[in-house]
Copies of this chain bind each other. A is one copy, B any other.
Amino acid sequence: MSEITLRNITKSYGSHLALPSLDLDIPKGSFVTLLGPSGCGKTTTLRVIAGLEQATTGEVVLGGKTVYSSGTGVFVPPERRGLGFIFQSYALWPNMKVDRNITLALSEAKQPKQVIEDRLTEALAKVQLTGLADRYPSELSGGQQQRVAVARLIAARNSILLMDEPLSNLDAKLRTEMRTELKRMHRELQATTVYVTHDQVEALTMSDIVVVMKDGVIQQQGSPYEIYHNPANLFVAEFIGDPRINLFEGILSMNGSDRILRFEDSTIPVPARLQCGDGPVTFAIRPENITIVERQGPFSLPAEVDIVQPTGSQTIISLSVKGQRVTVLIPRFETSLSRKNIWIEFPADQLTFFDKAGNRVPLQQPVLGASHAA
């Protein structure tokens, strides 16, 4: 059953159309992440769900109950929707200390004192702010402030949680811990969660469903695997994955009974199941799927190393292949690649093709994870 339904939602700010038309179904208990470039309407979508913003037209259904409908004029105000919300700007109350910021809603709901205290202690512990309950928000660092906002959500225990970049100001370690914490909360409360993030690792690791938006329009909606491996279009392909996927222009043609892809002077074999006619085509390959070899092979392309950027467990290598920039990711820490004579290879089964409109060309029988087994 779907817990949150947005039907044909549009939202404009004056003449600016932030959401042209949005349809979204979020099943009960699922964890949905909204992903998309800055300014694409993620926050707006959350605000429409929460009722903080009224959609210009459309309908919002929460838990089977219509809470907004431009047709009938129904509007349930946010305070009666029973949601948890973390604001991108924290929205901490400057006049209250941390503890009061966290427990206000509880004490307003006339919870017993003991419960409030327990929840406060628990929430503070979870966000690792124990001991700072007595500070004012202005006496906290940026990350600490953000954690207070998270603690407020944790303490409230709502059944629908909306979080707008709740971890953006935290360091990796803390962020990983908080991620686990939020995920656990999600499980424990069986809470339907809509999560906005710009961090792909977060999106891909935490979500049941990832929704990729662009300019207020949903581009693709699916499991993290689908989004990563079968991007619906060029935009999704380029947006998901860090470093960015490599794109090339090639020409599909037949070479005898085999189909081949012509790219610059080389040819690359392609899967036969590709449902698309011959001619120019855009193809993409993720940096981690490009192999760097030290000997020229039949399908290898000569490359020159440009920049080497180690990121810890991996190293991003920018290469120049026949004048084109290619990014390769290797699973090692590397500060320099000294050798000049290197070649790269594109494994044929790792290529994704896009037609002229930018939509992915499907394969006849989609290949499921089989080739990814270690």
| Residues of A bordering B, CB below 8 Å | 13, 35-39, 42-44, 88-89, 139-144, 146-147, 164-165, 168-176, 198-201, 204-205, 224-225, 228-229, 238-244, 286-288, 292, 309-314, 316, 329-335, 337, 369, 372, 374
13 A/B residue pairs, CB under 8 Å, sorted by A: A37-B174, A38-B141, A39-B140, A142-B164, A143-B198, A165-B169, A174-B198, A224-B310, A228-B310, A288-B313, A288-B314, A313-B314, A334-B374
**The one of B89, B173, B205 that contacts A142, using a Cβ cutoff of 8 Å:** B89
**The one of B89, B168, B201, B313 that contacts A312, using a Cβ cutoff of 8 Å:** B201
Closest 10 pairs (CB-CB, A-B): A38-B143, A331-B331, A288-B313, A171-B198, A205-B309, A172-B242, A88-B142, A201-B311, A39-B141, A168-B168
Please name the residue on chain B nearest to A135 by beta carbon: B16
Number of copies: 2
Contact residues in B for A243 (Cβ distance below 8 Å): 176
With contacts A142-B165, A173-B37 taken as known, whether A337 is within 8 angstroms of B374 at the C-beta atoms is yes
- Give the distance in Å from the alpha carbon of A35 to the alpha carbon of B143 in the complex: 13
Pair A169/B204 contact, Cβ less than 8 Å: no
Contact residues in B for A288 (Cβ distance below 8 Å): 312-314, 331-332
**The one of B35, B43, B225, B286 that contacts A313, using a Cβ cutoff of 8 Å:** B286
Pair A313/B198 contact, Cβ less than 8 Å: no
Pair B43/A141 contact, Cβ less than 8 Å: yes
Instruction: Give A126 Cβ to nearest chain B Cβ, in Å.
Output: 14
- Give the distance in Å from the alpha carbon of A372 to the alpha carbon of B334 in the complex: 7
With contacts A43-B141, A89-B142 taken as known, whether A205 is within 8 angstroms of B332 at the C-beta atoms is no
